[in-house]
């Protein structure tokens, strides 16, 4: 059989396994092993399958992931989210829709120490929505704001999604994390502007907060100091070359751990839970890596990525139009799959075409993550919406999806601006690294 045809059949077989409910790690490993065994021989397949787990686990590049994951669990245990929310509420609550805007920026701040979209949405569904409902904010819009705000953690460093992207396509993790900062803050600002005008034109959706004094505002700033320290450590350490991304992540985890101890928020039980959950999530991600890298080796043997790249480059369309089509595919896949699984599955095939088209890999990574964010709040399987709906069953999921559409429009506008003005993405990495 022609190797390219076998590669295409392998891809179809993989999708079938995933649809049947086989975990992506085992589906990719099984497909990759069988494909290599057919193209080469079973001994070669066994050797490659045995080498890849060790080479992946011993790769220093991947050690940044458990550090970033640990930061998120320590931050949750330390109560950082409460401090960030209190500060945002004190400083922004006076505006039309002030508490909803505060939720967006507090979630962005927590995303700077969490790096996990669903975790951020879950935390703020518990912290912010009760306060929003207490002040008579529209329930569906409040839940949609929380679901959309959770997506900001996918861009603002430390971002696990950007680490996964960099690992797959062999790009600088430091440059990617720096590149995600401005687009992440920009996305939060776009959400905030939308909410401001939405509540200004329809004040019945929620009233501003009055009678917050300057003393309360000044006191609240202490709650965001640890977040600023972690963010400054990660971005500053990487941009100056003082630390590698892994060292920056380790130091960030130490800062959050020390903060939790000082505040006496981290019990032995909380410490054990944080470490165990970090280990479980890391093992799950690494296992997925192993399976997908075996599958990627099979694709390389088949020559399918090269053929796909040549076909995409040969389309009678300008590079920007091709890029938009690819991003629309990611938006569709984002409705059904996790960020890491989607990128691990598609990038080995798509990325060679991106290189051939002359699109900056760092810019493409930010755009892919942004499209994944859109998938997290769009039906039928917007994961963030279901997370929020699961925590707040009193707010119908269909109402949250309906209220989330304006945020999707804002995200599409943001993507268009990033494509039109790539300097928004590339300014920091080009300036500092």
In this prediction, residues 22-41 reach a mean pLDDT of 85
In this prediction, residues 352-375 reach a mean pLDDT of 88
In the block, which residue shows the tokens 């392998």?
10
Of residues 179 and 241, which shows the higher confidence score? 179
pLDDT at site 244: 78
In this prediction, residues 108-117 reach a mean pLDDT of 75
* 256, pLDDT greater than 90: no
Quick one: how many helices (H) and strands (E) in the chain?
21, 0
Answer for the pair 340, 132: CB distance below 8 angstroms, yes or no: no
Domain residue ranges of the chain, discontinuous segments joined by +: 3-432
pLDDT at site 366: 93
Which tokens is 395 given?
A: 């707010």
pLDDT at site 379: 75
* 49, pLDDT greater than 80: yes
Q: What percent of the chain has pLDDT over 70?
A: 94
Q: Using CA of residue 254, residue 259, residue 262, residue 266, what is the dihedral sign?
A: negative
Nearest alpha-carbon partner for 101 in 159, 140, 134, 148: 148
In this prediction, residues 162-188 reach a mean pLDDT of 86
Q: Reduced to 3 DSSP states, what percent helix, strand and coil does the chain have, rounded to the nearest 5?
A: 80, 0, 20
**Mean pLDDT score of the chain:** 81
Which tokens is 402 given?
A: 């309906």
C-alpha distances out from residue 118 to 132, 180, 377, 391, Å: 20, 18, 11, 12
* 75, pLDDT greater than 90: no
Upper half-sphere CA count for residue 102 (Cβ side, 13 Å): 28
> What is this structure's pTM?
0.79
222-261: buried (b, 16+ CB within 10 Å) or exposed (e) per residue? ebbebbebbbebbbebbbeeebbbbbbbbbbbbbbbebbe
**Residues whose CB is less than 8 angstroms from the CB of residue 331 and which lie 6 or more positions away in sequence, other chains included:** 371, 374, 375, 378
Question: How many other C-beta atoms can be found within 10 angstroms of the C-beta atom of residue 416?
Answer: 11
60-87: buried (b, 16+ CB within 10 Å) or exposed (e) per residue? ebbbbbbbbbbbbbbbbbbbbbebbbbb
What's the residue count for the chain?
A: 433
CA dihedral of residues 229, 233, 236, 237 (deg, nearest 10): 170
* 358, pLDDT greater than 80: yes
pLDDT at site 380: 66
C-alpha distances out from residue 201 to 191, 198, 296, Å: 16, 6, 52
C-alpha distances out from residue 255 to 36, 65, 146, 184, Å: 46, 17, 26, 23
In the block, which residue shows the tokens 């590698």?
244
Q: How far apart are CA 277 and CA 426, in angstroms?
A: 34
Which tokens is 351 given?
A: 């990325």
pLDDT at site 381: 64
């Amino acid at each position: 059989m022609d190797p390219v045809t076998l590669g295409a059949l392998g891809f179809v077989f993989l999708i079938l396994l995933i649809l049947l409910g086989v975990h992506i790690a085992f589906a990719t490993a099984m497909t990759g092993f069988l494909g290599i065994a057919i193209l080469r021989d079973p001994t070669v397949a066994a050797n490659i399958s045995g080498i890849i787990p060790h080479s992946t686990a011993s790769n220093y590049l991947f050690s940044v992931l458990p550090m970033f994951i640990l930061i998120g669990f320590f931050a949750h245990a330390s109560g950082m989210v409460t401090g960030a929310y209190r500060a945002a509420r004190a400083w922004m609550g006076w505006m039309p829709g002030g508490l909803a805007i505060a939720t967006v920026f507090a979630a962005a701040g927590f995303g700077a120490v969490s790096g996990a979209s669903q975790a951020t949405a879950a935390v703020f569904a518990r912290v912010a929505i009760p306060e929003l409902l207490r002040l008579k904010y529209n329930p569906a819009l409040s839940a949609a704001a929380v679901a959309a705000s959770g997506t900001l953690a996918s861009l603002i460093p430390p971002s696990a999604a950007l680490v996964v992207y960099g690992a797959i396509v062999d790009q600088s993790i430091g440059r990617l994390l720096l590149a995600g900062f401005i687009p992440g803050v920009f996305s939060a600002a776009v959400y905030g502007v939308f909410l401001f005008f939405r509540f200004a034109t329809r004040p019945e959706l929620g009233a501003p907060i009055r009678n917050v004094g300057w003393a309360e505002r000044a006191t609240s700033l202490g709650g965001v100091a640890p977040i600023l320290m972690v963010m400054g450590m990660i971005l500053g350490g990487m941009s100056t070359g003082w630390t590698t991304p892994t060292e920056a992540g380790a130091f960030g985890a130490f800062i959050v751990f020390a903060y939790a101890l000082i505040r006496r928020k981290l019990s032995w039980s909380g410490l054990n839970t944080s470490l165990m959950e970090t280990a479980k999530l890391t093992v799950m991600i690494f296992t997925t890596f192993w399976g997908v890298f075996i599958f990627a080796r099979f694709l390389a043997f088949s020559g399918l990525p090269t053929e796909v790249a040549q076909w995409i480059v040969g389309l009678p369309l300008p590079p920007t139009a091709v890029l938009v089509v690819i991003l629309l595919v990611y938006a569709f896949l984002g409705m059904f799959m996790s960020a890491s699984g989607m990128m691990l599955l598609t990038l080995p095939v798509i990325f060679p075409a991106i290189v051939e088209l002359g699109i900056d890999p760092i810019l493409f990574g930010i755009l892919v993550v942004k499209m994944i964010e859109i998938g997290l709040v769009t039906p039928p399987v917007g994961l963030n919406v279901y997370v929020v709906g699961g925590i707040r069953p009193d707010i119908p999921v269909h109402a949250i999806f309906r209220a989330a559409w304006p945020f999707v429009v804002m995200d599409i506008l943001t993507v268009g601006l990033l494509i039109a003005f790539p300097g928004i993405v590339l300014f920091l990495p080009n300036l500092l690294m």
